[in-house]
Amino acid sequence: MQNAAISTFWQPDLSGTDDYKSKGFPRLPGLLDAAVSTFTSPGLDIPWYSTIGNHDDSVVGALPDGLLDSWYTGRKKIVGFGDPVQNAKVAKAFNDPTAIPEAMAILASGGVVRTVTPDDRRRLFTTGEYVRKHLQTGGHGYTDANADGVDVFYTFRMAPGVTGISMDTTNLAGFSTGSIGLHQLNWIERTLRRNSSLYYDWLGRPTRQNVSDELFVLFSHHTSGSMGNVLPDRRRPLDPRMNGDALVNLLHRFPNVLAWVNGHTHRNVITPHRHDTPSRGFWEINTAAHVDYPQHARVIEVADNGDGTLSLFTTLLEADAPYQVDYDDRSDPALASLCREFTYNDIHSRTDPLGTPLDRNTELLVSVR
């Protein structure tokens, strides 16, 4: 897209105008080649775990499974639309089912089309193939039980006494928003019940049992507010799909749930899910994306205060790169710096991805009594 002379996208190597250059973006010959050059990261000497999201599991993160397979392997490729009105109509279909027919008509007959060599190797991978690629290098949370791509959720040990639950909130029916199947919701309930000395049923009645309490932190791609896509998923077509409120209500029943950590919205947002019984409240911790400004990651630390409360420390991290560099510098730190600068000035960026101070570096209290 960025070297196809399509004015909708920034063309740093080309001398012509585009929507970004008209807003002040520079021409930087060689930037794209430098951006895709070999880079070796020292990495972190800790395990990492994969939680699947809509951009891992759906065409452009939003289109129904199987809808555009032939466009990937065939001889025609749509590389963009010169008309901003058409762009907007196609983008609308990612979230609005009523916009799909018009978007499909635009895809079929409009836009900038290139002729390419057909190649079956460009076919889209399945959810099962996605999981099996992880298994080849240690799993990263996934096990053989997830290899068929149907139930892509699991538990993992975070620390002594603390278990992580990685959820699958994607929906192959399409659209960028997600949901959770009743089958998975029931599995989460069973997992929590087995490790809770006290829990509450759907009517709010307490149940005590002689087991040790395990603390839980749940992880998903989607947030509670972006889980409204309850269309059937072909992996379990008869399984009812539930929205974010259903998951919040389930977690309120277990005092040993500390937090629900997620992404998707590319914003720093921390939401308290309060309950009349303080120990049944928990925190939802949403963190901005690496692909957009402010390009934050987040470290979450759990500390026992010894007084019936725990503290969750939510420290944001950003790239170890200068805040300003010469535009001709193509070193690794300079590329990281330029990336941050350009995402900050993106002409389509939102104004609130940073969040408020209460959404960034915080200490969040949780009652465990």
Q: What is the pLDDT of residues 150-177, one digit of tens each?
A: 999 999 999 999 999 999 999 999 889 9
Structure tokens at 119: 């190649």
Instruction: Name the residue type at position 10.
Output: W
Peptide bond into 294 cis (omega under 30): yes
Mean pLDDT of 100-128: 80
Under 8 Å between Cβ of 255 and 368: yes
d(CA 317, CA 330): 23
Q: What is the pLDDT of residues 29-49, one digit of tens each?
A: 999 999 999 988 888 889 999
Q: Which of 99-103, 173-177, 185-189, 224-228 has the lowest mean pLDDT?
A: 99-103
Q: What is the pLDDT of residues 272-331, one digit of tens each?
A: 999 999 999 999 999 999 989 999 999 999 999 999 999 999 999 998 999 999 999 999
d(CA 367, CA 207): 18
* The pLDDT value given to residue 161: 95
Of 114 and 126, the one with more pLDDT: 126
CATH code for 50-58+125-367? 3.30.750.180
What are the structural domain ranges in the chain?
1-38, 50-58+125-367, 67-123
Q: Which has the closest alpha carbon to 261: 192, 158, 368?
A: 158
Q: What is the pLDDT of residues 46-105, one digit of tens each?
A: 999 999 999 999 887 877 887 777 878 998 877 665 566 776 777 676 667 677 777 777
- Ramachandran region, residue 138 (left: φ > 0; alpha: ψ -120 to 50; beta: rest): left
Report the share of the chain in percent with pLDDT over 70. 93
- Range list of β-strands (E), 209-327: 215-219, 241-242, 257-262, 269-273, 282-286, 297-304, 309-317
Mean pLDDT of 249-271: 97
